[in-house]
Structure formats: C-alpha cells, structure tokens
Chain A
C-alpha cells in the first residue's frame, strides 16, 4: 500500500546504544514529522521537516537527531539510548503545512 513506511516495527536496545529509525513516504509530500507516543500523554512532536533540506525541533527534541535525506525519507537517530526513550515512534507526512498528516504504523522501541 502507498503511504508512510517505517522500519523497523520493533526494536530492543541496551542503554547507551545508538539506532536510526527509518521513514519513507511515497505520496510526494513536502512535510515530514516524528512523534513519540507514551501512555496517557497522546503524541508529542520530536522533530519536523517542513520541506526538503530543512529540519526543526518540536516539543521534545532532546536526545534525538534527524536527517531529511531527500523528499521521501526522514530518519530519526538516537545517539545514546536511554530508558526514558522507550516509546512508540510515529513518522508522518503531509502535503504542506495545512494538509492532514498521514501516519506510518509506528516503531515500538524498548530500551533496557
């Protein structure tokens, strides 16, 4: 199916390990986003990319970095994973700053 594809779907890391979460969209959208979802807190924005070549911090950027590799791909990197980063991570994309965001299926990340 067309849409937003996230890899991997599940991952377990040890504290201090690094990891990159991959996201790709095939809808020719300009904007892409990374959110984390924690129990009882809804989704919170980590980073976003309004267009190819730009990235900006969201509400909870500490401990993360992102790369907008091209128009299709937007990756999220944890340089030194911490247990507080255990969460479900969602990537999303939208046509532009007013369009609805379409989400991937999520990556469930556990850090021991």
Chain B
C-alpha cells in the first residue's frame, strides 16, 4: 500500500535560515510520481513540483530545491534563506500514473518563519 510520512509536524526557523522538510514514502510500484504542495494560511493548495520515479536528479527553483533518493525512499524539500512568506503547511504526496492518479498525502509539516 502507498504511504507518505512527514515526521516533522511543526518547524520554526528564523528568517534567512535554511530549512529542510523531510518526506519518506512507501509504494510497491516501480512507476510513480512524487509531489510537494504548499498551503499558506489563506488555505489554498499550491502545486510546487512533480517528480517521476525514473528521474532522480535534484532540482532547484530559486530558493527551493528538492532531493529525491530512491535508495532511501525520500523526497526532501529545502528552502534556502527562508522568508516570512514561506510560512505555510507543506504537503508531500505520492501517486501512481495508472488508474485514478489518486494523490496519497502526508500529514503535512507546518513551517513558521520568524522575522
């Protein structure tokens, strides 16, 4: 069965610090997708990134970077030089491309960036 674990329930950092959000997943499939979503205090869900299981290259987008390691079933998310606007709940999710494309979400990590 598919499962996504975000062990960090809440994290607080001071502005400009770097922070890494952990995500560990379980799946029996060899083909799958991993996602990160951001949910700011306003409540909407914002898509950040999708990775497929065959692409283990790390990705960087501005202050955001993602580290995908199949060997440890992890897909961690790092924010460099955090800003107050980064304060949000971040969700990691897993889906398989066949059938429903159901997203299996972790329970989320609440990040608070203190000015």
Q: Which residue of A lies closest to B91 (CB)?
A: A42
Q: Known contacts A42-B108, A43-B91: does B45 contact A48 (CB below 8 Å)? A: no
Chain A residues contacting B106 (CB-CB under 8 Å) are: 42
The stretch of B11-19, B73-81, B96-104 that contacts the partner chain: B96-104
Q: Which residue of A lies closest to B106 (CB)?
A: A42
Q: Is A26 an interface residue (CB 8 A)?
A: no
Write the nearest CB–CB distance from B9 to chain A, whole angstroms: 8
Chain B residues contacting A43 (CB-CB under 8 Å) are: 45, 91, 103, 105
- A98 and B97: CB pair below 8 A? yes
Q: Is A58 an interface residue (CB 8 A)?
A: yes
Q: Is A97 an interface residue (CB 8 A)?
A: yes
Q: Is A41 an interface residue (CB 8 A)?
A: yes
Chain A residues contacting B35 (CB-CB under 8 Å) are: 100
- B97 and A45: CB pair below 8 A? no
Contact with A along B42-53 (1 / 0, CB 8 A): 011101001000
Q: Is B107 an interface residue (CB 8 A)?
A: yes
Q: Is B64 an interface residue (CB 8 A)?
A: no
Q: Which of A45, A56, A98, A106 contacts B33 (CB 8 A)?
A: A98
- B100 and A48: CB pair below 8 A? yes
- A58 and B101: CB pair below 8 A? no
Contact with B along A61-101 (1 / 0, CB 8 A): 00000000000000000000000000010101010111111
Q: Is A25 an interface residue (CB 8 A)?
A: no
Complex-state Cα separation, A41 to B100, whole angstroms: 20
20 contacts between A and B (CB under 8 A): A41-B107, A42-B4, A42-B91, A42-B105, A42-B108, A43-B91, A45-B103, A48-B101, A56-B100, A88-B43, A97-B98, A97-B99, A97-B100, A97-B101, A98-B97, A99-B101, A101-B101, A103-B44, A103-B45, A103-B47
- Given A33-B103, A43-B91, A100-B50, 11 more pairs with CB closer than 8 A: A31-B101, A35-B103, A45-B102, A48-B102, A90-B45, A92-B103, A100-B47, A103-B44, A103-B45, A103-B47, A105-B44
In the A-B complex, the 8 residue pairs with the smallest Cβ-Cβ separation, listed nearest first, are A42-B105, A103-B45, A97-B101, A98-B97, A43-B105, A42-B107, A105-B44, A100-B50
